[in-house]
Amino acid sequence: MMFLRLLSDVRWRAANPRWRRMTCSRRSTSSTAEPHPISLPAQAQVVICGGGIVGTSVAYHLSKLGWKDIVLLEQGRLAAGTTRFCAGIVSTARPVSIELKMADYSNKLYQQLEQETGIKTGTRSTGSISLAQTQDRLISLKRIASSLNVMGIPCEIITPKQVAQLHPLINIHDLVGAMYVPGDALVSSADVSLALATAASRNGVQIHERTSVSHVLVQKGRVTGVETDRGQISCQYFVNCAGQVGLLNFFFLFFPLVFTPSLNSLPTSFLSSAAIVDPDGRIYIRSWQGGILSGGFEKNPKPLFTEGRNQLEIQNLQEDWDHFEPLLSALLRRMPGLEALQIMQLVNCPETFTPDMRCIMGESPTVQGYFVLAGMNSAGISYGGGAGKYLAEWMVNGYPSENVWPLDLKRFGTLQSSRTFLRHRVMEVMPLICDLKVPRWDFQTGRQLRTSPLYDRLDAQGARWMEKHGFERVKYFVPPGKDLLDLDQSKTFYKPDWFDIVGSEVKCCKEAVCVIDMSSFTKFEISSTGDQALESLQYLFSNDLDVPVGHVVHTGMLNEKGGYENDCSIARLNKRSFFMISPTDQQVHCWAWLKNRLPSNSSLTMEDVTWKYTALNLIGPRAVDVLSELSYAPITPEHFPSLFCKEMSVGYANGIRVMSITHTGEPGFMLYIPIEYALHVYNEVMNMGQKYGIRNAGYYALRSLRIEKFFAFWGQDLDAFTTPMECGREFQVKLEKGMEFIGQEALLEQKQNGVYKRFTMFILEDHDTDMDLWPWWGEPIFRNGRYVGKTTSSAYSYTVERHVCLGFVQHFDEKTGEELVVTTDFINQGEYEIDIAGQRFQAKAKLYPFSSLFTHRRRKDEMELSDLTGKR
């Protein structure tokens, strides 16, 4: 519910958290005497709040999709907020795939907007040049270039000399290279916004300026209308595009400079030259109205919360030259020739940023019909067009045409909306916009929010932490005696310094037993008085849940198209209750999905028990020995086969749910322990495990294990656009379970017609682990020299001693580019290459994991003395 709270801080101070109840009490409209040219309609299908680039884009796209009954409200004038101050560089150079697609679409949209509306948008395709001052920066640019190229966006990596040829004024002495995207454009963002508004209003959208929304009316969890300072509008949908969604407005500076010819003439070529982005110098430079405009993202942003202030339009904050000094230095270093230029103006304007640098899009998990699109992280003009399109599709079709989970507002939990958290995190986020993002980087602020009760114990044993959905999870354990790892060394595109540490953890998982604290998993309990729980779940999940009590079922929670909304394990605790385990970041999304689809029947209850259980994963062949010694219950494979769940006692503690799954394909058990027993059970396990060589392990080891076993993870490999058929999980779908379930039809159709993409495992063949760049995710896959898809995750397999990449292979018709059915033969009969930052590595494709990995057993004659020593 973050956005509601945040919004209330900004605009609905009066409304406060009790606003739900106010819906009934405050019906009377308080229209003031102030005359307005057009009166507000009494009702509309959609009310959009916010008339910046985002709001107008949503209105434009909704009207394109056929919805006409739309009202757009802007409290000031159109495009008078952040949009007005936007530098107007449409850059497609974005690392996240969905963002790249949005920017590409925006660019194309703006190009044709002038023709469509007749309004000048100032669009000029000058291209953009992103400069690299370091080798690592160049690598990250090369990675982006690879993905741009396969998207069909022309783009090349150029040398500093070529930069000098492209741009007359740039000092190239400290550059190692650059990326040139000729298709990128410069626009006048306010004009684009006005053009979008004009087109929308031609399609029937009503636009009302100087009207502010005071609060949103909600009844029974649905939007019913909005109340404005000019009266009430009842509506089915409310779209919040009000920009400063409370998400912190940050200092964002740009300053236009106008040159005076008498002092120093700019080469005329400058006016048509490309926009310059110098991320290492934290600045950008573009030509602007006969001069230049330059701005940047300073290292020390000034946070600005509009605490309940109703700002009609964003006012220029006072110019602060001292704050701008580092950026000015960077500018003059980049273009020393500008020294003689005269300053026209320094503009200082706030910007919105989100806790993870990605925008916020989607429907509220608790209020149906309430949509949000905001938090553009200063890329509003690049994303605005595409984001508006996806949100419009979402509203009209129920889901956008692309996977937007990375932007879905449900990725945040309630915890991440606290003001302190935001203040700290966003202070970190803003400078990060320009910082180099290397694999596995983590946020440093807003940490230790949610932790396992074992946190201190693990930390004392050398745990290094990463964060997911606010939860601290162990990456790996630094062995005692080993020096603290230097953070900088871990931040590399090459082999990281923890390589051997994780290697030994993996080895221990394979040969002895390891403990991984996996408490962050989302855990729900669903039960009913009768059979309602089973019946509902059978409809919501693709696998057959009508299994004997004590069985665990891996199943997808699919949407109508058969795509994974969630991938989970469900244990049948008894005939009428189920225990459901989902990925960590599903806490909000899955809850909302189930809540909206489960019958609102008092006999059926669903409870989020995430916080009640600590989860320990005992991985390895010796896990069974450790557990046997701690429990009276027989747990040999005969009594406790794979995919079983039993409640038993471990040590002194009872009521522990033990499941024979490990999420890695290795033998072992998951222990779901009521939190008050967590420390006791952990201690018991570690003590007893000593003689079996037990040790702690982290998620990096888990990742290596699951990827070499070809296990797909939701959120990384699987998304709402992936069906079980496409990732080789047909066995987890029971089409014939005797009852209908969501996505059944789509899956049946896929079964008959075949799939258009196939989850495939790639073993890198000629990749030197020590010397070559490591794969991460998002690397293009080439089959016989042609682009067929992208990787979704990768890891080094310590068993195969090769890198393993997982990804989807598509089949595009060589002539038309049309998507064709992907067959097993198509996958098997091809020569594959993976493109890592422009360098291609041969890869072997596999549709099934190495069978040998599952039956790995050491032969007697392979044993050596070192097997007798502990693995700690």
Q: Which residues bind other proteins (CB under 8 A)?
A: 257, 260, 263, 318-322, 324-325, 328-329, 331-332, 338-343, 345-346
Name the residue nearer to other proteins (CB basis): 206 or 348: 348
Shortest Å, Cβ 345 to other proteins: 7
- Asked if residue 85 lies in contact with residue 295, where contact means CB atoms within 8 angstroms, the answer is no
Of residues 226 and 331, the one with the C-beta less far from other proteins: 331
The CB-of-302 to other proteins minimum distance in angstroms stands at: 13
**Cβ burial, residue 459 (10 Å; 0-12/13-18/19+):** middle
Cβ-based nearer residue to other proteins, 85 or 110: 85
CB of 340 to other proteins, least distance (A): 5
* Cα(547)–Cα(572) distance, integer angstroms: 7
> For other proteins, which is the closer residue by CB, 347 or 573?
347
Which among 210, 208, 209 is positioned nearest to 44, based on CA atoms?
208
| Cα–Cα distance for residue pair 67/418, rounded to 1 Å | 36
- In the bound state with other proteins, the residue whose beta carbon lies nearer, of 219 and 264, is 264
Of the chain, the end-to-end C-alpha distance in Å amounts to 44
Nearest distance from C-beta of residue 86 to other proteins, angstroms = 22
Q: Which CB atom, from 42 or from 340, has the smaller least distance to other proteins?
A: 340
**Measured from the CB of residue 435, what is the shortest distance to other proteins in angstroms?**
22
d(CA 698, CA 485): 16
DSSP annotation of 566 reads E
Torsion on CA atoms 645, 647, 649, 655, rounded to nearest 10: 140
Q: Which is nearer to other proteins, 263 or 863 (CB)?
A: 263
Q: Are strands 185-186 and 177-181 parallel, antiparallel or unpaired?
A: unpaired
Q: Which is nearer to other proteins, 242 or 341 (CB)?
A: 341
SS3 label, residue 325 = helix
Q: What is the CA radius of gyration of the chain?
A: 28
* Alpha-carbon gap, residue 717 to 567, rounded angstroms: 11
Q: Rounded distance, CA 63 to CA 67, Å?
A: 5
The identity of residue 316, as a single letter, is: N
We find the least distance from the C-beta atom of residue 257 to other proteins, in angstroms, to be 7
Contact 485, 498 (CB under 8 A): yes
Secondary structure (DSSP) of 707-764? HHTT---BTTTB-TT--GGGGT-GGG--TTSSS--TTHHHHHHHHHH-BSEEEEEEEE
CB 339, min distance to other proteins, A? 3
Q: Rounded to the nearest whole angstrom, what is the least distance from the CB of residue 321 to other proteins in the complex?
A: 4
Question: At CA 730, angle to CA 728 and CA 736, rounded to 5?
Answer: 175
**CB closer to other proteins out of 317 and 478:** 317
Minimum CB separation of residue 165 from other proteins in Å reads 24
Smallest gap from Cβ 326 to other proteins, in A, equals 9
Closest separation between CB of residue 348 and other proteins, Å? 11
Q: Which is nearer to other proteins, 326 or 479 (CB)?
A: 326
- Residue 94 Cβ, how far from other proteins at the closest point, in Å? 30
Count Cα atoms within 13 angstroms, Cβ side, for 242. Answer: 33
Nearer to other proteins, 194 or 328 (CB): 328
Which is closer to other proteins, CB of 257 or CB of 571? 257
Give the separation between CA 724 and CA 747, rounded to whole angstroms: 8
Residue 567 near residue 393, CB atoms below 8 Å: no
d(CA 517, CA 494): 28
Structure tokens at 133: 């001052």
Q: What is the DSSP letter of 438?
A: -
Q: Specify the amino acid at residue 788.
A: V
Q: Which two tokens stand for residue 57?
A: 């884009």
Q: Least distance (Å) from other proteins to the CB of residue 792?
A: 46
CB nearer to other proteins: pick between 284 and 371: 284
List, as own/partner pairs, every contact residues 265-269 make where C-beta atoms lie below 8 angstroms and the sequence separation is at least 24, other chains included. 266/169, 266/291, 266/292, 266/341, 267/168, 267/169, 269/168
